[in-house]
Amino acid sequence: MTEAQATPRTGKRVLLAKPRGYCAGVDRAVQTVEEALKLYGAPIYVRKQIVHNKHVVQTLEAKGAIFVEENEEVPEGATVIFSAHGVAPEVYEQARERSLRAIDATCPLVTKVHQEAKRFAAEDYDILLIGHEGHEEVIGTAGEAPAHIQLVDGPDGVDKVTVRDPNKVVWLSQTTLSVDETLETVARLKTRLPLLQSPPSDDICYATSNRQHVVKEIAPECDVVIVVGSRNSSNSVRLVEVALDAGARAGHLVDFAHEIQDEWLTGADTVGVTSGASVPDELVQDVLAHLAERGFTGVEEITTANERLTFSLPQELKRDMKAAASARG
């Protein structure tokens, strides 16, 4: 047996999750800011963090993006990009009032949930939105039909639900939740509301589901799972929870490799590594290098799905890029 073959079983090893990192919606959102900076020049204003990742935000700031909380902070007539998490209709209205050139980088899978909310509200349903209170995506979706939507923040929020007509009620969800916890919430809702309808297709996005699935695969073998991601990233936080629920003995969330504490690795033979959907892979490579310096040199990539989905850039940006190209030509 070669040393390489022996390493996964006897030496310190890393189980590297795949898929991990950037999803199609994040890739599109980050690319939207980069292309807007090239096309219109700095500064480009971005309402909220374009994606929930500290490194990505810092990198785009260095290129000339200015991140703001609200449209009022954007000079009249300037360009503003709305983040991947989506916004309520009133945000578009505010942008129009300030004559802002608005580019919508909302993930198409979040837009799908917005469309569902509008459709069910138009049919006068009560909509139970499963999600985390205060999360930007929840605020945006709820803003589509505030009179019809009530938030259910996990299984413990079920008892607070009241509906007008138990025959006309549907659940939708934030796209970045724990799959298992959402199923538990829905099961509890259905004990109270047996006629509760489900969304036409799953609201939790493919990338969130896939990243949780591979973590469940590797967690039982891991002494510790390190998730690369920011604390305000819902899907990254969920990955730590999923790892612990699936049998990892410890789990930690870090933005950067230098945040890994040596005591986490004391006595560990197997370390799992993954990253949230808004994390560039260079940060994962930094973590692998950090672990290799501490003896974790055998890396085994565990793959449970191959992701090929891509999303095209926002229409308003593509139109202006095409016009600029024609002008140059």
> What tokens does 203 get?
């609201």
32 has binding-site annotation: no
278 has binding-site annotation: yes
Q: Is 293 a catalytic residue?
A: no
Could you give the C-alpha distances from 86 to 89, 105, 127, 136, in angstroms and in order?
A: 10, 8, 18, 7
290 has binding-site annotation: no
209 has binding-site annotation: no
205 has binding-site annotation: yes
Angle between helices 179-192 and 234-245 (to 10 degrees): 90
Q: Which of 137, 259, 263, 307 is catalytic?
A: 137
198 has binding-site annotation: no
Residue 150: which residues within 8 A CB-CB, separation 6 or more?
126, 127, 128, 129, 161, 162
Residue 26: which residues within 8 A CB-CB, separation 6 or more?
51, 84, 107, 277, 278
55 has binding-site annotation: no
Strands 224-228 and 101-104: unpaired
171, 198 Cβ separation under 8 angstroms? yes
Please state, as a whole number, how many other Cβ atoms lie within 10 Å of the Cβ of residue 244: 15
Burial readout 152-187 (b: 16 or more C-beta within 10 A, e: otherwise): bbbbebbeebebeeeeebbbbbbbbbbbebbeebbe
107 has binding-site annotation: yes
Distance CA 102, CA 32 (A): 12
**Per DSSP, what are the bridge partners of residue 104?**
82
Q: Residue 53: CA atoms inside 13 Å, Cβ hemisphere, count?
A: 27
270 has binding-site annotation: no
Binding residues for [4Fe-4S] cluster: 23, 107, 205
Binding residues for isopentenyl diphosphate: 52, 85, 135, 233-235, 278
The residues carrying an active-site annotation are: 137
Binding residues: 23, 52, 85, 107, 135, 175, 205, 233-235, 278
Binding residues for dimethylallyl diphosphate: 52, 85, 135, 233-235, 278
